[in-house]
Structure 1
Amino acid sequence: MKLLEGKTALIFGLANQRSIAWGIAQAFHEHGAQLGFSYAVPQLERRVRPLAEQIGVNF
């Protein structure tokens, strides 16, 4: 069993692949957490959506 298996996390402030939030999201995903993302402005969706798809997060 993974450390965060069965847990759900909402990651705030995701901006791009260089953001701290992305590093946290990757680590949580590796440990089995189900994730949701939040981003600051609608214009960031074009950057965030491809990252979400990489780890299987469904908006």
Structure 2
Amino acid sequence: MVAASPWWVYIVVGGIIVSGYLSYKYTKEDKQIEDRWIEQEGEVFMEPIRKRRQNKGIVNE
């Protein structure tokens, strides 16, 4: 049965496998980039809060 299959079937199956691998690879890479961006934006948001907390600590003492 395998020998009776046309050659283009192997190319299609190989293409599906490569496409699945690349999809997984780039999805994982995109998630890592997005996580780094979220972390940076969180730092920008948290910095003023940290400064306010430090100022309140100095004023209260």
Q: How high is the TM-score relative to the length of structure 1? A: 0.24
Q: How high is the TM-score relative to the length of structure 2? A: 0.24
Structure with bigger RCO (C-alpha 8 Å, 6+ apart): 1
Instruction: Answer with 1 or 2: which has the greater Rg.
Output: 2
- Greater per-residue helix proportion: 2
